[in-house]
Structure 1
Amino acid sequence: MNFDEILSHIGGFGKFQKSLYVWICLPQILLAFHMLISVFTGAVPPHLCRSTNTTWPLTASSDPPNFNFSLVTGPDGDPGRSCSAPGGIPGTPLAQLNHSTALALSDSHATEGCQGGWEFSKETFHSTVATEWDLVCDHANLNNVGSSIYMFGLVVGAVLFGFLADKYGRRNIILVGLTIQSTCGVGAAFAPNFYVYVFLRFVVGTTISAVIMNAFVLGTEWTGSKHRMLAGIITDYFFGFGYIILAGLAYLIRDWRKLQLAISAPGFLFIFYIWVLPKSARWLMANQRYEEAMDLVRKAALMNGKPLREDIEICQGYKDMVKIEERTKHTVIDLVRTPKMRRSSLIMFYLWFVNVLVYYGLSLNISDFGMSIYLTQLIFGLVEIPARTITLFTLNRSRRISQIAFLAVGGLACLLTVFIPDGTELSRQNSAAFNVPFKVLFINILRYLISYSIPLALKRLQLTEVTVREKSI
Structure 2
Amino acid sequence: MIRLDDILVQIGEFGPYQKRVFAIICMIVFTASWQSMIVVFLAASVDHWCAVPQWNDFDCSAAGLNEQTCMLAMKNASIPVNYTSDHQLVFEQCMKYNVSGEAFDPEIDPFHNPGWPTSQVMECDSGWVYDRSQYKSSIITDYDLVCGAGDQTQVSQSVFYAGYLAGSIINGVLADIVGRWWMLMILMFVRLISGIAIAFSPNWWIFTVLRFFQGYAAISIYIIAFIVGTEFVGPSKRNVTGIIFVIPFALGYICLAGIAYFVPYWRTLELICVSPALIYIGLMFFLPESVRWQISVGKYDKAEKTLVKIANSNNMPLSGPFFSSDFKKEQEAAPKERRATGIDLFRQPRMRLRTINLIFTWMVNAMVYHGLSLNTSNLGVNDYVAFAVSGAVEIPAYLLSVVAIEMKFIGRRISLSVCLLVAGVACLSTSAIPPGAALTSVAMIGKFGISASFAILYLYTAELYPTNIRSVTMGTCSMFSRIAGIMAPLILTLAKIWTPLPLVIYGSVSVIAGLLTLSLPETLGHKLPETIEESENFGRKSDANNTTSGKNGVYILNQDGRDEKEIKEENGGVNTMDYVNPSFNIQDENDHGKRDSGVQANLSEK
TM-score, length-scaled by structure 1: 0.87
Of 431, 436, 446, the residue aligned with 1:429 is 436
Q: Does 2:453 match 1:446?
A: yes
Q: Which piece of structure 1 moves more, 287-296 or 224-233?
A: 224-233
Distance 2:319 2:191 in 1: 41
* 1:156-201 deviation line (CA, Å, top 9, x unaligned): 1111101100101111111111111011101100112211111111
Match of 2:490 in 1: none
Match of 1:12 in 2: 13
Shift of 1:349: 2.3
Specify the SS of the correspondent of 2:284: helix
Shift of 1:213: 1.6
Distance 2:269 2:405 in 1: 38
Matched residues, number = 463
| CA contact 2:223–2:605 (8 Å) conserved in 1 | no
User: Structure 1 314/247 Cα, relative in aligned 2: closer, same or farther at 3 Å?
Assistant: farther
Q: Which piece of structure 1 moves more, 302-311 or 128-137?
A: 302-311
Distance 1:404 1:322 in 2: 46
Specify the SS of the correspondent of 2:14: coil
User: Structure 1 41/472 Cα, relative in aligned 2: closer, same or farther at 3 Å?
Assistant: closer
Match of 2:97 in 1: 86
User: Structure 1 177/62 Cα, relative in aligned 2: closer, same or farther at 3 Å?
Assistant: farther
Distance 1:167 1:82 in 2: 53
Letter paired with 2:93: S
| CA contact 2:398–2:452 (8 Å) conserved in 1 | yes
Specify the SS of the correspondent of 1:119: strand
User: Structure 1 455/24 Cα, relative in aligned 2: closer, same or farther at 3 Å?
Assistant: farther
Q: Does 2:199 match 1:189?
A: yes
Shift of 1:328: 4.6
User: Structure 1 153/291 Cα, relative in aligned 2: closer, same or farther at 3 Å?
Assistant: same
Shift of 1:109: 3.8
Letter paired with 2:47: P
Match of 1:212 in 2: 222
Of 266, 274, 278, the residue aligned with 1:264 is 274
Distance 1:99 1:227 in 2: 72
Match of 2:137 in 1: 127
Aligned-residue identity in percent: 27
Match of 1:411 in 2: 424
User: Structure 1 334/284 Cα, relative in aligned 2: closer, same or farther at 3 Å?
Assistant: farther
User: Structure 1 86/456 Cα, relative in aligned 2: closer, same or farther at 3 Å?
Assistant: same
Letter paired with 1:263: C
Of 228, 249, 258, the residue aligned with 1:248 is 258
Shift of 1:274: 3.4
Letter paired with 1:67: L
Of 140, 146, 165, the residue aligned with 1:155 is 165
* 1:255-305 deviation line (CA, Å, top 9, x unaligned): 111111110122111122332111111111111110110111111222233
1:17-28 correspondence to structure 2 within 5 Å: 17-28=18-29
User: Structure 1 369/288 Cα, relative in aligned 2: closer, same or farther at 3 Å?
Assistant: same
Q: Which piece of structure 1 moves more, 267-276 or 40-49?
A: 267-276
| CA contact 2:42–2:138 (8 Å) conserved in 1 | yes
Q: Which piece of structure 1 moves more, 380-389 or 365-374?
A: 380-389
User: Structure 1 312/202 Cα, relative in aligned 2: closer, same or farther at 3 Å?
Assistant: closer
Match of 1:425 in 2: none
| CA contact 1:87–1:112 (8 Å) conserved in 2 | yes
Q: Does 2:72 match 1:67?
A: yes
Quote the RMSD (CA, aligned, Å).
3.4
| CA contact 1:369–1:431 (8 Å) conserved in 2 | no
| CA contact 1:331–1:471 (8 Å) conserved in 2 | no
User: Structure 1 91/298 Cα, relative in aligned 2: closer, same or farther at 3 Å?
Assistant: same
Question: Which structure 1 segments of 5+ residues have no match?
Answer: 423-427
Match of 1:179 in 2: 189
Q: Which piece of structure 1 moves more, 392-401 or 71-80?
A: 71-80
1:284-299 correspondence to structure 2 within 5 Å: 284-299=294-309
* 1:327-372 deviation line (CA, Å, top 9, x unaligned): 3544545555555654444333222210111111111111210011
Distance 2:405 2:328 in 1: 30
Structure with greater Cα Rg: 2
